[in-house]
Amino acid sequence: MIHNFFTLVTRHWLSLLGLVIAVVGAVLMAMLFVMELSGFDGGPYLGILTYMVLPMVLVTGLVLIPVGVMRKRKLEARAAAAHQAPPRLPLIDLNDERTRGVVLVSLVVGLIAAVVLAAATYRGVKEMETVAFCGTTCHTVMQPEHTAFLRSPHSRLTCANCHIGTGADWFVKSKLSGSWQLIAVALKIYPTPIPSPVHNLRPARETCEQCHWPTKHVGDRLQVRSKFADDETNTESKTVILMKVGGQQGSTSSGIHWHVDPGVKIRYLTDRTRQKVYDIEHTAPDGKVKLYKTDDKPDGPTEWRAMDCVDCHNRPSHTFKMPAQELDAAMGDGRIDKKLPFIKREGLRVLQASYASHEEAREGIAREIEKFYKDKYPAVSSGQAGAVAAAGKALGDMYTWNVFPKMKVTWGTYPNNLGHSDEAPGCYRCHDKRHSTAQGDKIGRNCKTCHAVLAEDEPDPEILKKLKP
């Protein structure tokens, strides 16, 4: 069988060439693949070689083989028709001195060519990684996510922890899409802003749950948040909520993490951005199915998605905030002096203006803030020049963390689904009292289902005094 195959493919020079090309391609591919799997970091361009160029070489070789075989058949048929002996491959007679010389020279030249080619490829790969090409283009593309990642609780992870995970099959899948992305970047045909990848993001079971298991989050979680009003004194108020995170305890689940109990299955029909939810299907552990529907009709493509961690925690690592959230946080922790008159109002104003680049934004924001105090509060401008300058700088930071003009990422481009607000409906995509079953069951929107609001926008909540020892 193997012998037959061998004679078949080596009888015509085209199929012989195809065989050599295919074998060389396959061997190189396997070598690079093993090198990468064993930890050699060849960088993204080696990926292009391994996963795009070499496979093409392999396929070219494989295509040549049958072409040669067919050619040979045709020649044989023609020879048979003319009653001639079938054509043969050229005879290499190593007893002939001239032939020996040609064979030897060909071998040496071939070997040198192979070594030079390999070295050149390697240099080329290394070179491309360092040139400004990648440093600038790639950096712009991933800058929003990279910036947010560095500020997240996951900043010690690698991108691969969530976007790739472990195992060879996902390694290859990610390399394939990664190679395509690089080409898209080189040709500047990537979308701005980059859409969320959830449909080809690995299931949370195999990423998040490698580090966080659903049974671990049990119980309530207290959250205290400060907010500042847009009046002259930036009046402070506090909201205290007790989140019923819940989770699996023994054989039952409760609270918010009930959704990720292994026995609970929820699927939903949604648009590409997952901001609109049409049908919701809940299958209980006993197999009973409840289908909730709304009257809304989709106006674009939809798909079913099984709910997991990232349907609520859709921004575990790339959390882009809204201007008011950033300002409240900075005024709460002292990066911005909350005694500066109207700083909340003015901060919101300068953050929401538009700028062409980060540099322009930093400059424009600092200038506007200084100008405001100089014009309206000269005493503050001269007496607290340090606080005014610090506020200008902190506001510039906030802008560069959340807005990326080159990638068309601005306030609210990537909504956070972990809650409910005017910008992002989050839980209210389903918990909206509008989805109902044929029997009229609705998904609850009772405030107490998810949290106890112990104080809402109070200047000095009683509950916090009680909690203090």
Binding to ligand HEC in span 427-446, by CB under 6 A: 427, 429-431, 443, 445
Smallest distance, ligand HEC to C-beta of residue 280, A = 5
Give the x/- contact pattern for ligand HEC in 260-299, rule: CB under 6 A.
x-----x-x--------x--x-x-------x---------
Interface with ligand HEC, residue 450, by CB under 6 A: yes
Number of residues that bind ligand HEC (CB under 6 A): 73
CA neighbor of 19 nearest in space, from 51, 62, 54: 62
Torsion angle (degrees, nearest 10) of CA 412, 417, 420, 424: 30
Cβ neighbours of residue 123 closer than 8 Å, sequence gap 6 or more: none
Nearest CB to ligand HEC, comparing residues 72 and 259? 259
Contact between 203 and ligand HEC by CB under 6 A: the answer reads no
DSSP conformation class of 16: H
One of 51, 149, 278, 399 touching ligand HEC (CB under 6 A): 149
Closest CA relative to residue 388, chosen from 369, 360, 361: 369
Nearer to ligand HEC, 11 or 318 (CB): 318
Contacts with ligand HEC in 303-332 (CB under 6 A)?
Answer: 307-314, 316-318
Stretch that binds ligand HEC, among 40-48, 182-190, 358-366, 448-456 (CB under 6 A): 448-456
Stretch that binds ligand HEC, among 101-109, 216-224, 365-373, 385-393 (CB under 6 A): 216-224
- The b/e string for 411-428 (b: 16+ C-beta within 10 A; e otherwise) is bbbbbbbbebeeebbbbb
Task: Dihedral sign for Cα 105, 106, 107, 113, please.
Answer: positive
Determine, following the binding rule CB under 6 A, whether residue 238 of this chain makes contact with ligand HEC.
Answer: no
Q: What is the DSSP string of 237-280?
A: EEEEEEE---EEETTEEESGGGGG-TT-EEEEEEETTS--EEEE
* 143 interacts with ligand HEC by CB under 6 A: no
Q: Which is nearer to ligand HEC, 71 or 445 (CB)?
A: 445
Structure tokens at 380: 């503050």
Name which of 99 and 152 has its Cβ closer to ligand HEC: 152
| Omega of the bond leading into 193 within 30 degrees of 0 (cis) | yes
Find the part of the chain contacting ligand HEC (CB under 6 A) among 296-304, 329-337, 386-394, 451-459: 451-459
Q: Restricting to residues 175-194, which ones interact with ligand HEC according to CB under 6 A?
A: 194
Shorter beta-carbon distance to ligand HEC: residue 245 or 390: 245
Q: Does 159 bind ligand HEC (CB under 6 A)?
A: yes
Is residue 345 a contact point for ligand HEC (CB under 6 A)? no
Under the criterion CB under 6 A, does residue 44 sit at the interface with ligand HEC?
Answer: no
According to DSSP, residue 53 is labeled I
Q: Which of 420, 434, 463, 464 binds ligand HEC (CB under 6 A)?
A: 420
The residue type found at 171 is: F
Task: Tell which residue, 326, 43, 308, 318, has the closest CA to residue 194.
Answer: 318
- Under rule CB under 6 A, residue 410 binds ligand HEC: no
Q: Does 27 bind ligand HEC (CB under 6 A)?
A: no
Taking the C-alpha atoms of residue 113 and residue 107, their distance in angstroms, rounded to an integer, is: 10
* Contact status: 145 vs ligand HEC (CB under 6 A): yes
Candidate segments 88-96, 167-175, 204-212, 389-397, binder of ligand HEC by CB under 6 A: 204-212
Which one of 53-61, 150-158, 169-177, 371-379 is the stretch in contact with ligand HEC (CB under 6 A)?
150-158
Segment lying near ligand HEC (by CB under 6 A), choices 96-104, 207-215, 332-340, 350-358 = 207-215
What are 343's two structure tokens?
Answer: 């700083």
Q: What is the 3-state secondary structure (H, E, C) of 319-374?
A: CCCCHHHHHHHHHHHCCCCCCCCCHHHHHHHHHHCCCCCHHHHHHHHHHHHHHHHH
Q: Percentage helix, strand, coil, to 5, in the chain? A: 55, 10, 35
According to the binding rule CB under 6 A, does residue 380 interact with ligand HEC?
no
Choice from 32, 204, 331, 398 touching ligand HEC (CB under 6 A): 204
